[in-house]
A and B are shown apart, each in its own frame.
Chain A
Amino acid sequence: MADKKIKIIVAKPGLDGHDRGAKLLSRIFAEAGMEVVYTGLRQTPEMIVEAALQEDADVIGLSSLSGVHNHFFPKVMELLKEKKLDDVLVVGGGIIPLEDIPGLKEVGISEIFGPGTPTPTIVDYITNNVRS
Chain B
Amino acid sequence: MIDKKELEQVKKGKANWEAGTLGKTLSKQGERREVFTSISGIPIERLYTPEDVKDLDYGKEISFPGEYPYTRGVQPTMYRGRFWTMRQYAGFGSAKDTNARYRYLLEQGQTGLSVAFHLPTQAGYDSDHPLSMGEVGKVGAAIDSIDDMRVLFDQIPLDKVTTSMTINAAATVLLAMYLSLAEEQGVPFDKIGGTIQNDVLKEIICRGQYIFPPKPTMRLTTDLITYCQKNVPRWNSISVSGYHIRESGSTASQEMAFTIADGIAYVQACIDAGMDVDDFAPRLSFFFNVFTNVCEEVAKFRAGRRYWAKVMKERFGAKNPASQMMRYHVQTGGVTLTYQQVLNNIVRVGLQTYAAVVGGCQSLHTDSYDEALCLPTQGAVLVALRTQQMVAEESGACDTIDPFAGSYYVEALTDQIEAEIDQYIKKIDEMGGTLVAIDEGYIQKEIQNSAYIFQKEIESGERAYVGVNKYIMEEPPATGLLKVDMALGEIEAAKLKKLRAERDNAAWQKALDNLREVSKTDENVMPAVIEAVKAKATVGEVCDVWRELFGEYRPKEFV
Q: Do A and B bind each other?
A: yes
Query: Which A residues fall within an 8 A CB radius of B?
Result: 14-20, 23-24, 26-28, 36, 38, 40-42, 44, 66-68, 70-72, 95, 97-99, 114-116, 118-120
User: A75 → chain B, closest Cβ, in Å?
Assistant: 8
User: A50 → chain B, closest Cβ, in Å?
Assistant: 16
Known: A15-B120, A71-B134. A24 touches B557 (CB 8 A): no
List 10 A-B residue pairs with CB atoms under 8 Å apart, sorted by A's residue number.
A14-B119, A17-B206, A20-B206, A20-B249, A66-B139, A67-B139, A97-B481, A98-B478, A116-B338, A116-B340
Q: Which residues of A contact B248 (CB under 8 A)?
A: 20
Q: Which of A14, A28, A40, A95 contacts B339 (CB 8 A)?
A: A95
Q: Which residue of chain A lies nearest to B129 when distances are taken between CB atoms in the complex? A: A15
Q: Which residues of A contact B483 (CB under 8 A)?
A: 67
Q: Which residue of chain A lies nearest to B132 when distances are taken between CB atoms in the complex? A: A15
Q: Tell me the residues in window 386-439 of chain B with beta carbons closer than 8 Å to chain A beta carbons.
A: none
Q: In the bound complex, how far is the Cα of B460 from the Cα of A124, in angstroms? A: 16
Q: Which of A40, A67, A98 contacts B555 (CB 8 A)?
A: A40
Q: Are A24 and B448 in contact (CB under 8 A)?
A: yes
Q: Are B119 and A23 in contact (CB under 8 A)?
A: no
Known: A38-B559, A95-B372, A119-B459. 12 other contacts (CB 8 A): A14-B135, A15-B122, A15-B131, A15-B132, A16-B139, A40-B555, A40-B557, A44-B130, A66-B135, A67-B484, A71-B486, A116-B339
Q: Are A20 and B451 in contact (CB under 8 A)?
A: yes
Q: Are A118 and B459 in contact (CB under 8 A)?
A: yes
Query: Which B residues fall within an 8 A CB radius of A?
Result: 119-120, 122-123, 125, 130-135, 138-139, 203, 206-209, 247-249, 335, 338-340, 372-375, 448, 451-452, 455, 459, 465, 468, 477-479, 481, 483-484, 486, 555, 557, 559
User: A115 → chain B, closest Cβ, in Å?
Assistant: 4
Q: Are B131 and A68 in contact (CB under 8 A)?
A: no
Q: In the bound complex, how far is the Cα of B247 from the Cα of A44, in angstroms? A: 25
Q: Which residue of chain A lies nearest to B121 when distances are taken between CB atoms in the complex? A: A15
Q: Are A70 and B486 in contact (CB under 8 A)?
A: yes
Q: Are A38 and B557 in contact (CB under 8 A)?
A: yes
Q: Are A115 and B338 in contact (CB under 8 A)?
A: yes
Q: Which of A27, A41, A97, A116 contacts B452 (CB 8 A)?
A: A27
Q: In the bound complex, how far is the Cα of B468 from the Cα of A131, in angstroms? A: 31
Q: Which residue of chain B lies nearest to A71 when distances are taken between CB atoms in the complex? A: B134
Q: Which of A67, A99, A116 contacts B138 (CB 8 A)?
A: A67
User: A109 → chain B, closest Cβ, in Å?
Assistant: 16
Give the 7 A-B CB pairs with smallest separation, nearest first: A17-B208, A71-B134, A98-B477, A15-B119, A115-B339, A116-B468, A26-B559
Q: Which of A28, A67, A115 contacts B374 (CB 8 A)?
A: A67
Q: Which residue of chain A lies nearest to B557 when distances are taken between CB atoms in the complex? A: A40
Q: Which residues of B contact A118 (CB under 8 A)?
A: 459
Q: In the bound complex, how far is the Cα of B75 from the Cα of A64, in angstroms? A: 42
Q: Are B451 and A71 in contact (CB under 8 A)?
A: no
Q: In the bound complex, how far is the Cα of B211 from the Cα of A41, in angstroms? A: 12
Q: Are A66 and B209 in contact (CB under 8 A)?
A: no
Q: Which residues of B contact A15 (CB under 8 A)?
A: 119-120, 122-123, 125, 131-132, 135, 209
Q: In the bound complex, how far is the Cα of B483 from the Cα of A57, in angstroms? A: 33
Q: Which residues of B contact A14 (CB under 8 A)?
A: 119, 134-135
User: B553 → chain A, closest Cβ, in Å?
Assistant: 11
